[in-house]
Structure 1
C-alpha cells in the first residue's frame, strides 16, 4: 500500500501510516512527471499541500488512485468533484491549522501596528547612524486593545481569530453569508472561560466600522472580494490582513490604497501569482510579508499528519 506525500508529511503522520503497513514515499516529484511516477509505483494515495496540482489530467491518467489528500484547508489545487465522480476519496484537514493561521494574522497585526516590518529592514542598515531619526519615525505606533477587528469569513479560522481578539480586549465584528451567529469560547490559563456570541452582519457594515480587517474566505470564482469599491467604504487608516487565498484582494487596488493612505498597512501571507508575487507587493514599505506559511508550525504539521493518517486508515478500514 503505497502513499506518495509529494509536498512532504510530518514525521508523526509517516510513523502512524508506517505502523499500519503503508509505504510512505516523500520524494518530491515534479508536476510534469507526477502521473508517470504514480503509475510506475502503483500509488494508491496521493497527499499534497498547495504546490502539487491534481487536476483532471492527473486523475484520468492515474487509475490506481483511491485517495487524494490535502494537508490543509483549501482544495483549490484539486478537482474535487471530478475526483469524487471517479470514486476517488478526497480528504483534507480543515481544523488542524486554524490556531496557527490565526496566530499569524496577529503576528502581521502587531508587526504593522508597531512598524516591525519596516524597522526590521532599516535597523540593520541605518540603526547605527540615524537611530534617533528611526525612533522618531516609529513613534506613532498603535495598540490593538480597544480597537475593532472585522473578520470576513467566520469559519474555523475566523472563529479562532475572534477568540484571540477577544482575549486581547478587542471588539469583534464579522461578516459571513453562511453563518448567522458564532459562539466563541474564550479560555483562560486556569481553566476558566467565557462564551461570547457574535452575530454576523452584511459586509458593508464590517468594511465601514473596522479598524483592522482580516479575510478568511475561499478563492473567489469571479475575481476578487476586496477591490477599489470596497476600499472606498473602509475607514481612513484601516489595516488589512490576508492569510486566506491569493486573489481575494485586488493587489493593484491595495497598492493604490496604501499609497493614498487609505490603508495604513497590510499583512499578506498569500499572493495572486504564487510562487512569484509581484515586485511592487514584495518591495512596498507598508506591507508585512510571509511566504504562505499560515499552517507552517510544528504543532499544525503534527496535527495535519495525524489527521491524514487517521482518515486514510478509516477509508481503507485498516485498524
Structure 2
C-alpha cells in the first residue's frame, strides 16, 4: 500500500506532482491546518503531514496520529511543531532550510533600505500630493556597521550582500566558527559588542528559550543611540513593548519588522509609529521561494517514505541517498544486537556502550546507535522506533556512550553493544559480511557465529559432555525443529553459549525443561 500524505496548508501544485511521481498518495486540503479539530479527526489516516506556518502540530494532534511517520515543514522555522512530542512518538520532523534563504535575506536588505530612506512614508506622502521633500532626510548605508545576530544560512547571505554594499559587518552567533567568519569576511563579536557598535541590527536566529527577547529592554538600552533594527526571522526575538518605548524615546531611530509575536498581526504596539516599517510576513513570499520550498519538502518526504532517506531532519541525523544503502545493513545489525541484549537483560539497563570498529566507524554512527537503543528498548516498550529511542532512553536515565576505533581484530567492521545492568554487563558483538546479512559473532568473551532468525533459543551453560545431545533431544521430543545451531566457549570445560534457530516458537514448558538440564545457567527464547 502506498504511503499517504496530507497537505494541510497552501503549497505549490508542483509538490503534488512530485509526490505522485514518487508513488505517494497525496490529499491536498490547503485550509485544513487552520481548524485543529478537523485536523485531529483525520490525521490518523496519513503517514506524512506537509505544512507551512498555519498548521499547528501540537502534542494533542500527535497523540491522535498513530500512523504518522513524518512532518515536513515547507520553510525553516518549526516553532509551530511540538518537536519534543513528535520525537517521543517517533515522528521525523523535517524543514527546508535552503529553499527560501535568498528570498528572506533579500527582504531583510530591502527593509533596511526602506528604513534608511523612509521609503514607505515618503511614498504615501507623495501619492497624497504633498511633495514633502525636506521631511524625508534619510541615512546612507555605505560605511555603516551592520550587526548580524545569527549568521547561519540567511544571516550569511545578508552579510555578504551588506559587504557588497560597502558596509562593515559584525556578527554574533555562538555556533559560528572563526574559519567560517573569516571566509564570509565578517568580524565575530560578542552580543554586547554588537549592540554597542552596530548602526543597523538584523536578526536571523531561530526562536528558542535562549533567543526569546534577545533584544530585551536591557539589551536595547545597550545599543548605540540611533540604531535601526530589522527582524525578518521570528516574532518574539525582540521585546515589542520595550522597542516601542525605545522608539518613542528616540534611542532607536527606526525599526522594520516582517514578523510579530502574534500573527496574523491585525494590531501591534509597533503599528502607527512614524519610524516603523511593517510587512505581513513576506520574507518567503516570492514566486521562486514558494516553488522551491514546495518542491524540496515533497522530495524530502517522498525520499523518506519510499527509500528511508533522511534530509534536513531537526530530530534525527540526515541520511543521504548514497549513504542509505551502506547504512541499512549496519542499522539492521545494531537493532538486532540491541534486541539480543534486551531479551537477555533481567534488570534495568543503566548504561549502553556501543563500540564501532573498522569501516563501520566511518559511517554515520548516530543513526546506528539509535537503532541499537531501539532494539534494546523494544522488549519492554511498545511503539519504540529509531526516532524516539534515544529520547526514551534519556528520559529513563540511561547513559549512552559511543566509541570508534580502527579495526583491531579479524573483522573489517565490528559493532560491540554492552549494556550495564544491576546484575552485570551483557555484551554482544556483530558484523555484516559481504552478503549484506548481519551476524552475531560473540557473546561476552565467547566467540559464536550465527545469523539472526525470526525464532531462536539462547542457552548459557557449563561446557560439559552430553549437553548438546540432551538439548537437541528435548527440542525433538517437543516437536521443535532446529534450523541452524551455533556453539562457542571461552575454554575447555568453561562457560559455553548455544544459539539455535528454530522453526516456530518453543513453549514455556520446553524452555523450563531445558533450564533444568545439568549445567544450564540461562535459557532465553528470542524473537527477531
> What is the TM-score normalised by the length of structure 1?
0.89
Contact 1:80–1:90 (8 Å) recurs in 2: yes
Contact 1:181–1:197 (8 Å) recurs in 2: no
Could you report, residue by residue, the CA deviation over 1:191-242 in whole angstroms, capped at 9, with x for unpaired residues? xxxx544342110111111110001112142641112211221111110001
- Cα 1:316–1:271 change in 2 (3 A) is same
Q: Larger strand proportion, structure 1 or 2?
A: 2
Q: Report the Cα distance in structure 2 between the residues aligned to 1:182 and 1:145, rounded to whole angstroms.
A: 26
Contact 1:3–1:22 (8 Å) recurs in 2: yes
Verify: 1:143 aligned to 2:178, yes or no.
no
Question: 218, 221, 229: which is aligned to 1:232?
Answer: 221
Matches within 5 A, 1:256-275: 256-275=245-264
Contact 2:96–2:297 (8 Å) recurs in 1: yes
Q: Which residue is equivalent to 2:236? A: 247
Matches within 5 A, 1:50-69: 50-69=53-72
Contact 2:213–2:239 (8 Å) recurs in 1: yes
Shift of 1:26: 2.5
Q: Which residue is equivalent to 1:98? A: 101
- Cα 1:44–1:111 change in 2 (3 A) is same
- Cα 1:279–1:80 change in 2 (3 A) is closer
Verify: 1:84 aligned to 2:87, yes or no.
yes
Aligned-residue Cα RMSD (Å) equals 1.9
SS at match of 1:302: helix
Contact 2:24–2:302 (8 Å) recurs in 1: no
Matches within 5 A, 1:150-189: 150-181=147-178, 183=180
Contact 2:156–2:184 (8 Å) recurs in 1: no
Shift of 1:180: 3.0
Which structure's relative contact order is higher, taking Cα pairs within 8 Å and 6+ residues apart? 1
Contact 1:10–1:305 (8 Å) recurs in 2: yes
Q: Which residue is equivalent to 1:192? A: none
Q: Which residue is equivalent to 1:216? A: 204
Shift of 1:10: 1.6
Shift of 1:144: 1.0
- Cα 1:196–1:76 change in 2 (3 A) is closer
SS at match of 2:186: strand
Shift of 1:106: 0.9
Shift of 1:277: 5.0
Q: Which residue is equivalent to 1:203? A: 191
Q: Which residue is equivalent to 2:294? A: 305
Verify: 1:292 aligned to 2:281, yes or no.
yes
Shift of 1:17: 1.2
SS at match of 2:133: helix
Gaps of 5+ in 2: 308-320, 322-528
SS at match of 1:68: strand
Matches within 5 A, 1:28-47: 28-29=31-32, 30-39=35-44, 42-47=45-50
Gaps of 5+ in 1: 186-194
SS at match of 1:51: coil
Could you report, residue by residue, the CA deviation over 1:155-185 in whole angstroms, capped at 9, with x for unpaired residues? 1111011111111111110001122336479
Aligned length: 302
Shift of 1:23: 3.0
Shift of 1:107: 1.0
> What is the TM-score normalised by the length of structure 2?
0.55
Q: Which moved more, 1:211-220 or 1:30-39?
A: 30-39
Tell which structure's C-alpha radius of gyration is larger.
Answer: 2
Shift of 1:153: 0.7
